[in-house]
Amino acid sequence: MEHEKYQRMAMRLADKELDDAAKQELQSHLSICPECTAFANDLGPLSDAFSPLQKEEGVNGALNTFMSNRAIKATEKVSLLEQIRETFWGRQHVLRYAGLALILGAIAGGAGFKLQNKPITPSYISAEEEALFNPVYPGSITEVVNDEHKESL
Amino acid sequence: MMEQDQDTDLYIKYGETGDPKLFRALWDKYKGAVLTTIMRITLLPKEGAEDILQEVFIKVMDERGRFTPKAKFGTWLYRMAVNRSYNAVRDKKEQVEIDDRLPDEKADYALDRLVDKERAIVLKKALGELNERQRAALTLREFQEKSYAEIAEIMEVSLDAVESLLFHARTKLKSILKGRI
């Protein structure tokens, strides 16, 4: 593991990532270690070996043209979208719409709740006739029927 | 606080104005280096690597106006390229083109005796023996001359991790290319 430590230091030195204090420590070790010295000496040729792949790749002309055109189209698209956004979806508009939706929702919810609980009365039955069938009212037909049922039990 | 650089300022300005000339300036500056990086990490032929390059720069276009400079533009760009390269490798798009005329590997041909094209193929085969993270770190160091700190930022790993990746990559390559360098 000692060798690996100094070989890593040698690598950092080759990559110009080693501070002066560590350089001195490394030089002291290399002066007595042929294995690490060999490792350090191989780093330069290894890096040089990559020279055939060093040349920067050129981009296809068609791709160059495509990207240029897309950049122009992207601008046009944003301009139109920006206009729509500014008109309808500016932050202040979104908050207004959200508030309005909340109020309308509350009203609709309340109305829906009331409608749900309101008993459905046919229009041809009067209020007095309806009361006769409403079990809440004493003396209603429904109460009489219920009482007769209880007696039979 | 991150030190803002010229390219980051240019990109921010592109986000504010949408001026395609500003995008073109960034494209012209980075396209070659980013394409090279993608090719070295993925080992894809140029056409496949250009698809990834296109994806990266379309993202650059789409993200304008939303870029918050937590990192420099160049760092962010390379990070996208590296991550998409990893995806390409994982999607099994990795290919290594082998030239039929390549000298027998057992033959004692030192690299300097091969012509450049053949050397390139031997090197690509050797790079193919590394994992994609080792290739990424090596590519950013050897071909883009990024510092360890920059590599750490691009790859979103620690400095120690960068050192380990480079050390293991180089050790492995030395053993693969033994006798050839």
Q: Pick the more confident residue, B171 or B112.
A: B171
Report how far residue A83's alpha carbon sits from residue A145's, in angstroms, rounded to the nearest whole number.
71
Cβ pairs bridging A and B (under 8 Å): 96
Supply the Cα-derived Rg of chain A in whole angstroms: 44
Mutate to test the interface with A, among B11, B34, B36 (most CBs of A within 10 A): B36
pLDDT at residue A72, rounded to an integer: 86
Per CB-CB distance under 8 Å, the chain A contacts of B147 are: 17
* DSSP string for B18-55: --HHHHHHHHHHHHHHHHHHHHHHH---HHHHHHHHHH
Place B103 in a pLDDT band, splitting at 50, 70 and 90: very low
8 A C-beta contact, residue B60 and residue B23: yes
Q: pLDDT means per 10 residues in chain A (153 residues)?
A: 91 95 95 95 90 82 88 71 64 73 85 65 68 61 59 56
pLDDT at residue B173, rounded to an integer: 93
Asked if B46's CB is within 8 angstroms of A49's CB, the reply is no
Asked if A58's CB is within 8 angstroms of B32's CB, the reply is yes
Per CB-CB distance under 8 Å, the chain B contacts of A75 are: 18-20
* DSSP string for A28-48: HHHTT-HHHHHHHHHHHHHHH
pLDDT at residue B104, rounded to an integer: 45
* DSSP string for A60-126: PHHHHHHHHHHHHHHHHHHHHHHHHHHHH-SHHHHHHHHHHHHHHHHHHHHHHHHHHHSPP--TTS-
Residues 6+ apart with CB under 8 A from B149: B159
Which of A11, A46, A59 is opposite residue B32, by nearest beta carbon? Answer: A59
Tokens of B60: 């650059």
B119 CA to chain A: closest CA distance, Å?
Answer: 7
Q: Which amino acid is at B82?
A: V
Its pTM stands at 0.70
A91 CA to chain B: closest CA distance, Å?
Answer: 16
pLDDT at residue B100, rounded to an integer: 38
**Chain A residues interacting with chain B (CB cutoff of 8 angstroms):** 4, 7-8, 11-12, 15, 17, 42-43, 45-47, 49-50, 52-54, 56-60, 63-64, 66-68, 70-72, 74-75, 78-79
Tokens of A11: 């690598």
Of B114, B129, B141, which Cα lies nearest the Cα of B176? Answer: B129
Mutate to test the interface with A, among B119, B150, B165 (most CBs of A within 10 A): B119
pLDDT at residue B117, rounded to an integer: 75
Which of A15, A43, A71 is opposite residue B23, by nearest beta carbon? Answer: A71
Asked if B141's CB is within 8 angstroms of A63's CB, the reply is no
Q: What is the pLDDT of residues B139-181, one digit of tens each?
A: 999 999 999 999 999 999 999 999 999 999 999 999 988 766 5
Res. B113: pLDDT tops 90: no
Range with lowest mean pLDDT among A139-148, B27-36, B62-71, B141-150: A139-148
Q: Pick the more confident residue, A19 or B118.
A: A19
Res. B105: pLDDT tops 60: no
